[in-house]
A = this chain, B = another copy of it.
Amino acid sequence: MLLGQGYAATVFAWGLARLKKGLAEPWGVPLAKIDFGVPIERLEVVASVDVDASKVGRTLYEVAERYNLKPEPELAEVAVSPGLRLASTPSFIRTAALDDRLPLEDAIARFEELLDDAKPDVVFDVTTTARSEPLRDWEEAERKALRGELPHPQVYALLTLRRSGVAHVNMQPAHVACSPALVEQAQLSGSLVLGDDGATGATPLTVDLAEHLAERNRRVLSIAQFNIGGNTDFLSLTEPDRNAAKEETKSSFLEEVLGYEPPHFIKPTGYLEPLGDKKFVAMHVQWISFGGFIDELVVSARINDSPALAGYMVDLARLAYASLRAGFRGTLPEVNLFYMKRPGPPGVKQKAKILAYQDLLQFVRKLGRG
């Protein structure tokens, strides 16, 4: 089940259909070649939710066409249901949300009916970035949710995690797998919560670069990283609160990988429509080498943002399902550490992605035995 039928969710559904028919290679799916009992062919999109009035009621086929993707006919089988806009949906979106026309309590009840009908094994949150604070107490969180005081990603997670045997995967920067109350609740209800914020693009590369420098005992003097793009996510980040939320997940690893926090400027920087989903990233790093000499590195890149996330979703759907089946509950740090920018649960120590991948392989071997 997909929450937020934006470009990432649409590339995922479109690409998945093509993979299942053998029309494409699974490039960008990290564990594509590893068998742990849930082949890609088993995945299915059972429901889709959005608040954008131009999407609600349309099929994924129609949505894919609007994004200039040539969809497979199967995509016509799923239509976009209305979701919850709450206070955290960006103002530039014209909404057709459940809470546009119903009192919040009723809107939430309707959303729960949707969950009852769809019976998803895995729910992905790929909605727009929202600012949040970690939730520390489940009951207080439930009260706040009903009063409309929580942002939509936390409300969605809360509604999923009331249920048993389901995995909620939070691909965006809100505190979900990094909210103690939500991880505990997943444990209690026999579910899983994964997140937060899919680590595609420049951040995971910067983590590995930082490890590369740390292993050579090179002293990092400064890191500047700019990101600019033309998709809805970048548009939403022009609102300062959202930008701050994103900035936090982007640089959380520095202290843990380097052992100190060098001066840095790591931010999504702006919106520039003609760049589209293929963002432009520029990064400058300088460090002290042996003898006090200073080296400099500049990275620039054009990265297709949404396809990178969609490739991860293929893995995460399979991993979440296999883990539930193998009896895992709460959250999965081994999974989060590789796929996420701010891996839950709170307190987990970040590490280089190349090292996290080794731990992930170990974890996957355990699933395979399940």
Copies in the complex: 4
Is A76's beta carbon under 8 Å from chain B? no
A298-317 to B contact mask, C-beta < 8 Å, 1/0 = 11111110011011001000
Minimum distance in angstroms from A345 CB to a CB of chain B: 23
Say if the beta carbon of A54 comes within 8 Å of chain B.
no
Residue among B204, B270, B291 making CB contact with A265, cutoff 8 Å = B270
Alpha-carbon gap, A307 to B294, bound state (A)? 10
Query: A30 near B: Cβ within 8 Å?
Result: yes
User: How distant is A194 from chain B, measured CB to nearest CB, in Å?
Assistant: 17
How far is B314's CA from A291's CA once the two chains are assembled, in angstroms? 12
Expressed in whole angstroms, the minimum distance between the Cβ of A318 and any Cβ of chain B is 13
**Which residues from 10 to 29 on chain A have a C-beta closer than 8 Å to any C-beta of chain B?**
11, 14-15, 18, 24-29
CB distance from A98 to the nearest CB of B (A): 31
* Residue in contact with A354 in the complex, picked from B14, B211, B292, B303, CB distance below 8 Å: B211
**A157 shortest CB reach to chain B, Å:** 25
A293 touches B (CB below 8 Å): yes
B295 touches A301 (CB 8 A): yes
- A53 to B: closest C-beta gap in Å: 25
Given contacts A263-B273, A299-B298, A307-B293, contact A26 B284 (CB under 8 A): no
A205 at interface, CB cutoff 8 A: yes
Are A222 and B28 neighbours in the complex by a CB distance under 8 Å?
no
Tell me, yes or no, whether A109 is within 8 Å of chain B by CB.
no
Instruction: Collect the chain B residues with CB atoms within 8 Å of residue A310's CB.
Output: 290-291
Residues of B contacting A25 in the complex (Cβ-Cβ under 8 angstroms): 219, 288
Chain B nearest Cβ from A299, distance in angstroms:
5
Query: Would you list the 7 A-B pairs with minimal beta carbon distance, nearest first?
Result: A28-B290, A290-B311, A282-B282, A293-B304, A222-B274, A15-B291, A290-B307
Would you mind naming 14 contact pairs between A and B with Cβ atoms under 8 Å apart? A28-B218, A31-B217, A208-B208, A215-B353, A216-B311, A222-B273, A226-B226, A226-B282, A291-B304, A291-B311, A295-B308, A296-B302, A297-B301, A354-B355
Q: Which residues of A pack against B, CB within 8 Å?
A: 11, 14-15, 18, 24-33, 204-205, 208-209, 211-212, 215-219, 221-222, 224, 226, 228, 262-265, 267, 269-275, 278, 280, 282, 284, 286-304, 307-308, 310-311, 314, 352-355, 357-358
